[in-house]
């Protein structure tokens, strides 16, 4: 069982099926350790990554995981799918049951994808309030011009939702390619924004999320763990 922002004494009581008085005795006798430290305060708040040991019995030892994957085209951003290969399938053998996707990519989109078992971290990245930018390289069917730059910077109205997109930065690389920075991720947003110009998106590749760029040493389908510094940097970045 994972404890998500729970009181220590209540967690122990549920795990060991003990009355509150017995839990208090364990705490008073110094028989409870949290993250290798003896703890006497049952009101201490723990989370799913707190390492908890009672009388040498490990009650919880979940390790946070943060994975960068170079997603190829034709793979589903899901943990399970009855028909298609998923991004979790690309991770190969191992226990990946607790992982979820922090910002999906469409079936035919490619590039940087993050997977984690840390719900608080992924929610932070997804929240528009935190202004975490996403950078993409896009290839389109028809030539680009400054009208696109201006429209993206002003925001485009989506009648179906009744909303206007946040200002996005579009930098034209050549007639048919551009880089886009935006701080939200609505359904098929980039394709729909170009759709206002009747310009079909032929390829969409995510280059970066916040300060974290796709590792150029990762070939398609390859992955690696994020460093502690990379994980921390994401929590202290905003546009």
pLDDT of residue 126 exceeding 70, the answer is yes
* 199 within 8 A of 152, measured Cβ to Cβ: no
pLDDT of residue 44 exceeding 90, the answer is yes
CATH of domain 66-234: 3.30.2350.10
Six-digit token string for 52: 């908890």
Active-site positions read 106
Question: In the chain, where does the domain assigned CATH 3.10.290.10 lie?
Answer: 6-60
* 210 within 8 A of 131, measured Cβ to Cβ: no
* 187 within 8 A of 181, measured Cβ to Cβ: no
> What's the length of the chain?
239
The band of 1, judged by pLDDT with boundaries at 50, 70 and 90, is very low
Q: Return the percentage of the chain with pLDDT > 90, whole number.
A: 79
pLDDT in tens, 129-178: 888 999 999 999 999 999 999 999 999 998 888 889 999 999 999 999 99
Residue 190, number of CB atoms within 10 A of its CB: 24
* CA gap 27, 72 in Å, rounded: 51
pTM beyond cutoff 0.95: no
Assigned CATH topology for domain 6-60: 3.10.290
pLDDT in tens, 60-105: 988 999 999 999 999 999 888 889 999 999 998 887 888 999 989 9
pLDDT in tens, 181-202: 999 888 889 999 999 999 999 9
For 76, counting Cβ atoms within 10 Å of its Cβ (0-12 exposed, 13-18 middle, 19+ buried), the class is buried
Taking the alpha carbons at both ends of the chain, their separation in whole angstroms is 37
Question: In the chain, where does the domain assigned CATH 3.30.2350.10 lie?
Answer: 66-234
């Amino acid at each position: 069982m994972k404890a998500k922002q729970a009181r220590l004494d209540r967690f122990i009581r549920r795990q060991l099926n003990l009355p509150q008085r017995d839990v208090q005795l364990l705490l008073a006798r110094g028989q409870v350790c949290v993250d290798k430290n003896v703890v006497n305060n049952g009101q201490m708040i723990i989370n799913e990554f707190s390492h908890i040991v009672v009388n040498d019995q490990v009650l919880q030892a979940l390790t946070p995981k943060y994975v960068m994957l170079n997603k190829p085209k034709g793979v589903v951003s899901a943990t399970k799918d009855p028909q298609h290969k998923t991004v979790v399938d690309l991770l190969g053998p191992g226990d990946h049951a607790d992982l979820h996707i922090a910002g999906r990519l469409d079936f035919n989109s490619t590039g940087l994808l993050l997977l984690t078992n840390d719900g608080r971290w992924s929610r932070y990245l997804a929240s528009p309030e935190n202004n975490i930018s996403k950078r993409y390289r896009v290839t389109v069917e028809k030539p680009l011009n400054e009208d696109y730059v201006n429209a993206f910077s002003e925001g485009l109205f989506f009648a179906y939702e009744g909303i206007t997109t946040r200002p996005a930065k579009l930098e034209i690389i050549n007639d048919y390619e551009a880089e886009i920075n935006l701080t939200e991720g609505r359904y098929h947003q980039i394709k729909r924004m170009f759709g206002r110009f009747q310009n079909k998106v032929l390829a969409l590749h995510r280059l970066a999320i916040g300060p974290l760029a796709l590792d150029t040493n990762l070939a398609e389908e390859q992955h690696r763990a994020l460093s502690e510094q990379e994980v921390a940097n994401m929590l202290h970045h905003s546009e």
